[in-house]
Structure 1
């Protein structure tokens, strides 16, 4: 790998860190366990693995690396999910899902798909920020308190 290619990969890592941090910002702001550092690390890891595989020029290698990122982050996500209250309540589902999606952002960066990565980052941030919007909170209460409980 030439030093120019290494600098390109380094730029991808920086972009992944920034986009991962943007996704994790809302979680950090609201005191969740997974925040800026977690989301950045997941995005950076996925970007570097994908970038290095893409450098090999072997489509099969890239496919294997991406598939293993999906599986690996799936295991990480499974560890994030917990149950309490006798197994009646689940915690960590949103964090698990968005960490998984953040890995996908890293993969898109590694594959030079920057517009998709930026757009997905915006969508994920919007999804995470929904929970704190007054209209969404009101709507959620209305569907959970419909008199059937």
Structure 2
């Protein structure tokens, strides 16, 4: 048994799980439909897919590219499931959660590919966006006087 291989796989999956849990926690704290479990599963699944194809094709860039294209497309369907349009007000909800799922898949894929710095820095950028994005939109709405109901609300999407 090659323990270094198992420890590498475990590290990559653990980091994907951690990223999914962190991003999912943010969405869960805002009472959104895709929380810790959904984000964690998306990140782990993406990491698994990239590791699987990388081992089969010996890091063939075209094969990995096709897997990433499939992940990106497939996540579009999952993201569509969390986007809701209210009939009466025509407001759209869930776009940020759908985008965080999509980004979470790519961070998981980056960890699956062994790109730890890329995954970690991406997590930081996404968390920064999720944490300060809503308050920044509200501040700009006050400053400019422009308020777009679908983007500026008391409840972060």
TM-score, normalised relative to structure 2: 0.81
Unaligned 5+ segments in structure 2 are 149-157
Following superposition, the deviation at residue 66 of structure 1 comes to 1.4
Query: Following the alignment from structure 1 to structure 2, what is the Cα–Cα distance between the partners of residues 115 and 58?
Result: 19
Looking at structure 2, the residues matched to 52 and 2 of structure 1 have their Cα atoms a distance apart, in angstroms, of: 17
Deviation readout 1:54-92 (Å, 9 max, x if unpaired): 112151322221111111111111222121125721111
Q: TM-score, normalised by structure 1?
A: 0.85
Aligned length: 144
2: CA distance, partners of 1:113 / 1:58: 13
C-alpha separation in 1, matches of 2:4 and 2:63: 22
Give the Cα separation in 1 of the matches to 2:59 and 2:85: 42
Give matches, 1:85-104, under 5 Å.
85-86=87-88, 88-104=90-106
1:55-134 matches, within 5 Å, as 55-56=55-56, 57-59=58-60, 60-86=62-88, 88-131=90-133, 133=135
- Secondary structure of the 1:112 match is coil
Q: Once superposed, what is the RMSD of the aligned Cα atoms?
A: 2.1
Gaps of 5+ in 1: none
